[in-house]
């Protein structure tokens, strides 16, 4: 598919597995949410185990126009976060730049038949004609998946929302924009509690913005937020109502020898994720992924280069705006591996135990069903070996910004522009 | 010299991005524009600190060598490590970068509440603007400096310029001395030619003239004309083959590019720039005055970008403001 024929609205803007991994939600620039469900194991179709098929599609957000400020509000879904499942229905939060919505996704596979007051096709029956009463019976019907908005959390953010994160208490969640973080209760839509505010009194003094925020997976009073200056602050909500003072401050001193015009841009953190264990967190900046031990603020415990060969191309990447791309990162279920995206539909995986890394490509030409992915290599200079790709032939329009890892198994979801790829470990 | 070129190019690109951000869907992105303004700042500092022999050496304390670093300005230090280390003169010319407070905008800042105070904001804005006008003038003068130094017999403004804007020619005396030269002490101030006509110069020709007259005329001449940014690549190969401390022709080409570029940018900005400045921050201030309710609603969304970004792009901004 050529780039020109890709509709902008179809570009996937977020990917997220639910807690069990059976559901995978994607959001796109057109404000739609598509949910995939994993096929159940079925003896008659042994190969279909693990396949994800479309489960539900709905329009989450529409474009809006703020007449007071003459601003258009994009319908693009910035983030989706699932709630832990508590009953038969599934709940997720989806957000655009300004409004967060709680959606309930429920199944209906039975239908009541035999109403007294209306016919099967819905027409009202003449009450005088009814001579007998009957009890409506539930009959099976084709599975229908309905999505309905249960809560709308609006008007709490002046700036663009970049993150939402559900708390481990399953009652509250946070939403973060460029300058503020708000705490919500899932049941209450008309108020939120501001817990971080870095807006300076004089906007001319603005030097950094919030780029991502997340709650700790186990400690419901702890959250972190990253900044455009490459720092992460960990805050404890027990210490004060307004968490402008951090409890911990994570920053790696800059290497002065690598300073350039673009040092500030490439140090801006685009994503921060806690490990499942809660002991580590990972940050993604433009060229690298760093793993931090929460007990050590002075520097990360691991640094993985994603595409260091781009360091000499920063000026071009600034010109074509690629340097502003916000890559996400994710942990494997066991925290033994981490994954993040790159250009040319490449994505990178780092095994923390073996210290090995691999570059893979998400593209139709290179992946047939049930064929293994071949590792790719980028040639950084000198002679290009066979099968290597030179830096100059990378396609910077094909970027993988969003990836997700199944919480328990080695199944990954990779969003390449408007296509979703799902890969899994070979099962013998 | 390469730093200057690169910096100049980056400044143009950055200004273009800021301009384009106004028409992007979803409103101005604060994060991206903040990053662009940081790049702009770095590039500007490199551009202004890139030494041309002898001329940027620190003047007396009173000389407006560098705009007072605004609070919160990142310590984008001397351009060390960007390839070859710049000659020591650059370091000398560059005043101490004050060790900035780590995160000045941040936690300890007393929150005055969310409602934008109308009056204080205006006051602060005006003060800053005043300081920037000075800085802009200094920048313009300094920019003209190299031409003067290398001047001696190079042929003055008429020499070798395609589309050299009228305005700049007028702003410079035909002897090639920068306006206001007589008033400035030190090597920058002295007119290189003994028979210079500008020696006794009345004080009133001073500050308002260069930034106000120049850009305005430049704008008029530059609309649709002037060397487009595209002309830079053409000049590059020639530049590389010339010596660094080279002829005036080189300096002049550089000045042409710069002013031509500014002309284009001003023609782009001019029609809507005052609107850009006034609409949100100014408009926001006016609306914000006396507005108590809904602090969130009181802040225009656009305010989040325009002010810090535009303040950062002086001297361009001030020149354009004057326009």
On the question of pLDDT at B287 being above 90, the answer is no
Which residues in chain A touch residue B80, judged by CB atoms under 8 angstroms apart?
A: 256, 259
**pLDDT for the residue numbered A299:** 95
Q: Does any domain span residue B271?
A: no
Pairing of strands A388-390, A377-379: parallel
| pLDDT greater than 90 at residue B245 | no
Q: Which domain holds residue B6?
A: 1-48
pLDDT digits (tens, 9 = 90+) for B18-31: 999 888 888 889 99
Give the pLDDT confidence of B221-242 residue by residue, as tens digits: 334 444 444 444 444 444 444 3
Residue A5: the pLDDT is 61
Question: pLDDT per residue over A363-416, tens digit each?
Answer: 887 667 777 888 999 988 777 788 889 999 999 999 999 999 999 999 999 999
Q: Is the pLDDT of residue A229 over 90?
A: yes
Min Cα–Cα distance to chain B from A48, Å: 41
In 3D, which of A304, A413, A313, A348 has the Cα closest to residue A35?
A413
Q: Which H or E element spans position B244? A: none
B7 found inside a domain:
yes
Structural domain includes residue B260: no
CB contact under 8 A, B299 and A257: no
* A244/B contact by beta carbon, under 8 A: yes
Q: What is each CA distance from A19 to A55, A90, A339, in whole angstroms?
A: 16, 11, 18
**Residue from B6, B45, B105 whose CB has the most chain A CBs within 10 Å, to mutate:** B105
Global pTM value: 0.66
- Residue B38 is assigned to a structural domain of this protein: yes
Contacts of B266 (CB under 8 A, 6+ apart): B215, B218, B219, B222, B319, B320, B323
Tell me, what's the pLDDT at B52? 58
Task: Give the H or E element holding residue B135.
Answer: helix B118-151
Q: What is the pLDDT of residue A46?
A: 62
Q: pLDDT higher for B34 or B261?
A: B34
Note whether A150 and A104 are within 8 A (CB): yes
**Structural domain includes residue B115:** no
Beta bridge partners of A303: A290
Residue B250 lies in a domain: no
pLDDT of residue B93: 36
Q: Provide, as residue numbers in chain B, all residues whose Cβ is less than 8 Å from the Cβ of A259.
A: 77, 80-82
Residue A358 pLDDT exceeds 70: yes
Distance from CA of B177 to the nearest CA of A (A): 33
The three-state DSSP-derived secondary structure of A302-365 is EEEECCHHHHHHHHHHHHCCHHHCCCCEEECCCCCEEEEECECCEEEEEECCCCCEEEEECCCC
> Residue A294, by phi and psi: left (phi above 0), alpha (psi -120 to 50) or beta?
alpha
**pLDDT for res A168:** 97
B-facing residues of A in 297-356 (CB < 8 A) are 315, 318-319, 321, 324
* Helix (H) or strand (E) segment spanning residue B4: helix B2-21
- For residues A246 and B202, what is the distance between their CA atoms, to the nearest angstrom? 58
Which residues of chain B from 84 to 103 reach within 8 Å of chain A, CB to CB? 103
Q: Is the pLDDT of residue B151 over 50?
A: no
Task: Answer whether residue A271 shows pLDDT above 80.
Answer: yes
How far the first Cα of chain B sits from its last, in Å, is: 29
Q: How confident is the model at residue A47 (pLDDT cuts 50, 70, 90)?
A: low
pLDDT score for A193:
96
Exposure of B6 in the CB half-sphere (CA atoms within 13 A): 20
Q: Is residue B10 part of a domain?
A: yes
DSSP-derived 3-state class of residue A33: strand
Average pLDDT of span A111-131 = 86
Domain assignment of residue B316, yes or no: no
User: With a CB-CB cutoff of 8 Å, which residues 121-140 of chain B face chain A?
Assistant: 121, 124-125, 128
CA-CA distance, B296 to A395, in Å (whole number)? Answer: 41
Task: Please give the C-alpha separations between residue A391 and each of A348, A374, A378, A386, in angstroms, as whole numbers.
Answer: 16, 18, 6, 14
Instruction: Say yes or no to pLDDT of B288 above 70.
Output: no
Q: How many domains does chain B have?
A: 1
Q: Are A248 and A234 in contact (CB under 8 A)?
A: yes
Most confident of A46-60, A66-80, A223-237: A223-237
């Amino acid at each position: 598919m050529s780039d020109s024929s890709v509709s902008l609205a179809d570009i996937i803007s977020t990917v997220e597995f639910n807690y069990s991994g059976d559901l995978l939600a994607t959001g796109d620039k057109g404000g739609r949410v598509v949910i995939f469900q994993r096929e159940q194991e079925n003896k008659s179709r042994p190969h279909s185990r693990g396949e994800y098929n479309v489960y539900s599609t709905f329009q989450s957000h529409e474009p809006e126009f703020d007449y007071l400020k003459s601003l258009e509000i994009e319908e693009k879904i910035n983030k989706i976060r699932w709630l832990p499942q508590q009953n038969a229905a599934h709940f997720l939060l989806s957000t655009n730049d300004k409004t967060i919505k709680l959606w309930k996704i429920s199944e209906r596979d039975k239908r009541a038949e035999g109403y007294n007051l209306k016919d099967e096709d819905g027409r009202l029956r003449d009450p005088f004609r009814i001579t007998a009463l009957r009890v409506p019976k539930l009959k099976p019907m084709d599975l229908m998946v309905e999505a309905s908005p249960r809560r709308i959390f609006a008007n709490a953010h002046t700036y663009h929302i970049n993150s939402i994160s559900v708390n481990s208490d399953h009652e509250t969640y946070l939403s973060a924009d460029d300058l503020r973080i708000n705490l919500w209760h899932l049941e209450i839509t008309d108020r939120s509690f501001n817990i971080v505010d870095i807006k300076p009194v004089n906007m001319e003094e603005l030097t950094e913005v919030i780029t991502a925020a997340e709650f700790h997976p186990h400690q419901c009073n702890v959250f972190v937020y990253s900044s455009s200056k490459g720092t992460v602050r960990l805050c404890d909500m027990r210490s004060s109502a307004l968490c402008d003072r951090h409890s911990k401050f994570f920053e790696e001193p800059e290497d002065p020898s690598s300073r350039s015009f673009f040092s500030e841009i490439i140090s801006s953190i685009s994503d921060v994720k806690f490990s499942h264990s809660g002991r580590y967190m990972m940050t993604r900046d433009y060229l690298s992924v760093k793993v931090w031990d929460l007990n050590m603020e002075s520097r990360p415990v691991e640094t993985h280069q994603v595409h260091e060969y781009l360091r000499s191309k920063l000026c071009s990447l600034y010109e074509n705006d690629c340097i502003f791309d916000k890559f996400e990162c994710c942990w494997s279920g066991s925290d033994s591996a981490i994954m993040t995206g790159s250009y040319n539909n490449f994505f990178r995986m780092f095994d923390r135990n073996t210290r090995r890394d691999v570059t893979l490509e998400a593209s139709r030409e290179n992946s047939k069903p049930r064929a293994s992915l071949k590792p790719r290599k980028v040639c950084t200079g000198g002679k290009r070996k066979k099968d290597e790709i030179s830096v100059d032939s990378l396609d910077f329009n094909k970027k993988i910004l969003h990836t997700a890892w199944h919480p328990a198994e080695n199944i990954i979801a990779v969003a390449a522009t408007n296509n979703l790829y799902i890969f899994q470990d070979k099962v013998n | 010299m390469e730093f200057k070129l690169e910096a100049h190019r980056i400044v143009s690109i950055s200004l273009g991005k800021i301009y384009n951000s106004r028409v992007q869907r979803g409103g101005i992105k604060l994060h991206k524009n903040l990053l662009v303004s940081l790049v702009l700042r770095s590039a500007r500092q490199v551009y202004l600190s890139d030494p041309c022999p002898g001329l940027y050496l620190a003047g007396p304390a009173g000389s407006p060598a560098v705009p007072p670093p605004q609070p919160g300005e990142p310590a984008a230090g001397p351009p060390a490590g960007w390839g070859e280390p710049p000659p020591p003169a650059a370091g000398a010319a560059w005043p101490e970068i004050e060790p900035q407070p780590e995160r000045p905008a941040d936690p300890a800042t007393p929150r005055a509440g969310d409602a934008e105070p109308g009056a204080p904001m205006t006051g602060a804005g005006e003060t800053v603007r005043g300081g920037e006008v000075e800085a802009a003038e200094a920048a313009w003068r300094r920019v003209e400096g190299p031409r003067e130094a290398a001047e001696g017999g190079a042929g003055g403004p008429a020499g070798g310029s395609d589309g050299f804007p009228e305005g700049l020619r007028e702003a410079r005396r035909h002897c090639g001395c920068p306006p206001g030269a007589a008033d400035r002490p030190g090597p920058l101030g002295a007119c290189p030619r003994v028979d210079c006509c500008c020696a006794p110069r009345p004080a009133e020709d001073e500050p308002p003239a260069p930034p106000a007259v120049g850009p305005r005329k430049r704008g008029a001449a530059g609309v649709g004309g002037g060397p487009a940014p595209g002309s830079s690549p053409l000049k590059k190969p020639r530049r590389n083959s010339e010596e660094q401390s080279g002829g005036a022709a080189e300096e002049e080409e550089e000045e042409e590019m710069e002013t031509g570029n500014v002309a284009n940018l001003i023609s782009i900005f001019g029609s809507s720039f005052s609107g850009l400045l006034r609409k949100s921050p100014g408009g926001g201030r006016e609306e914000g005055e006396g507005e108590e309710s809904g602090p969130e609603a009181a802040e225009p969304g656009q305010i989040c970008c325009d002010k810090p970004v535009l303040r950062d792009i002086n001297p361009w901004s001030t020149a354009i403001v004057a326009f």
